[in-house]
Amino acid sequence: MTQDKQYAVGIDLGGTKILAAIVDQDGDIHSQGKIATQPQDGDQAVIRRIGDLVQDVWEQSGIGTDRICGIGIATAGIIDTVRQKVIYASNLNWNDVRIGDRMNERFGVPVELINDANAAAVAERTFGNARGTDDLIYVTVSTGVGAGIICGGRLITGVGDSAGEFGHISIHPEGPFCACGNRGCLENYVSGLALAKKAQALLKAGAESSLSAVGGGERDAITARDIGEAAENGDKLSIELLTQAGYFLGIGLTNLIHLFNPQVLVFGGGVIKNGRLLVEAAEQVIRERCISRMAKQASIQISTMEDTAGVLGAAGMFFQAERKKLAI
């Protein structure tokens, strides 16, 4: 072990934008950059663009190539962490894209792919409030609902790297049909999209709310962020919507606690940022319904990382004291 600091590149690859950062082993970001993804240009163009971005932030940081231990890429969709390729990503319109090989050819350092919710879990455990915890679950509520799960110090990935589909656990056997094939999926009760749709439907049915002024009265423009802001300003309909979604989230979380017995639950994602009420309602369900010994063992926290969780987690994979414990 050398006393010199170690660094890694973290990339957060989304359908709209790509973030890259040079991160050190303490979680400090030394340089960073952001570009538009423009997936319509095709996978090879996007990969070239990511490469250029990495080169930029790397040069900007002034850190020697010999001190970068790897490039981590956090992305949504179905990935293969052994072959370092994206099997399928709807937001990028990618099918079977070997991004790992391409980045490795260009930069000559190890490349690791990681699911974005898993990256956030690694970030929280490596650099965040859950530092040192071996059993934590990161729950994200944004457009959709997902989870990154670490048990006994290791990421739960499953045989096909697809574990953690928390948004697609059923909480009602005859609930609404979901695009995934299941019924009563949590995502249909709790996500930003579900909240917005519910608000739109209620307004259409004549409900009174300050939301009716949003977007110049254009109902389709209402987002979960609007609902969160309206709730903070006392709008009854918005408060009711968030409380109800939180009730369902609490049911899902109780299931997670009973299955994983975590020490820490960390909440992140856009809907959480503007929807503190949602977490409060969920916490109440946990207090009421969870096996009390397990509820007491699970500390509930709000992520303080937000936008940097992806790059920190992607880079963080290279800094685990016992790395093999986390990587598959």
Cα-only R_g, the chain: 20
* Rounded CA separation 301/21 (Å): 25
Q: Count CB atoms within 10 A of the CB of residue 43.
A: 19
187 binds its own copies (CB under 8 A): no
322 binds its own copies (CB under 8 A): no
CB 114 within 8 A of CB 143: no
129 binds its own copies (CB under 8 A): no
In the complex with its own copies, which residue's Cβ is closer, 213 or 259? 259
In the complex with its own copies, which residue's Cβ is closer, 88 or 208? 88
Considering only residues 287 to 306 of the shown chain, the ones binding its own copies according to CB under 8 A are: 288-294, 297
Shortest Å, Cβ 182 to its own copies: 4
What is the distance, to the nearest Å, from the Cα of residue 236 to the centroid of all Cα atoms in its chain? 29
248 binds its own copies (CB under 8 A): yes
Four-point Cα dihedral 178, 182, 184, 185, nearest 10: -70
**DSSP element (H, E) containing 289:** helix 276-289
Strand partners, 8: 23
191 binds its own copies (CB under 8 A): no
Shortest Å, Cβ 120 to its own copies: 17
Place of tokens 């993804």: 37
142 binds its own copies (CB under 8 A): no
263 binds its own copies (CB under 8 A): yes
83 binds its own copies (CB under 8 A): no
* Rounded CA separation 125/261 (Å): 16
CA distances from 255 to 12, 180, 258, 295 (A): 29, 20, 5, 11
165 binds its own copies (CB under 8 A): yes
Shortest Å, Cβ 164 to its own copies: 7
| DSSP sequence for 22-79 | EEETTS-EEEEEEEE--GGG-HHHHHHHHHHHHHHHHHHHT--GGGEEEEEEEESSEE
User: Binding its own copies by CB under 8 A: which of 132, 158, 176, 215?
Assistant: 158
User: Binding its own copies by CB under 8 A: which of 72, 100, 262, 275?
Assistant: 262
User: Binding its own copies by CB under 8 A: which of 43, 112, 124, 135?
Assistant: 135
* Rounded CA separation 234/82 (Å): 49
User: Binding its own copies by CB under 8 A: which of 36, 159, 205, 321?
Assistant: 159
In the complex with its own copies, which residue's Cβ is closer, 23 or 141? 141
211 binds its own copies (CB under 8 A): no
Phi-psi region of 164 (alpha: psi -120 to 50; beta: other; left: phi over 0): left
User: Binding its own copies by CB under 8 A: which of 126, 191, 223, 254?
Assistant: 254
221 binds its own copies (CB under 8 A): no
Contact positions toward its own copies, by CB under 8 A? 78, 134-135, 147, 149, 151-152, 154-166, 168-173, 180-183, 247-248, 251, 254-256, 258-263, 288-294, 297, 328
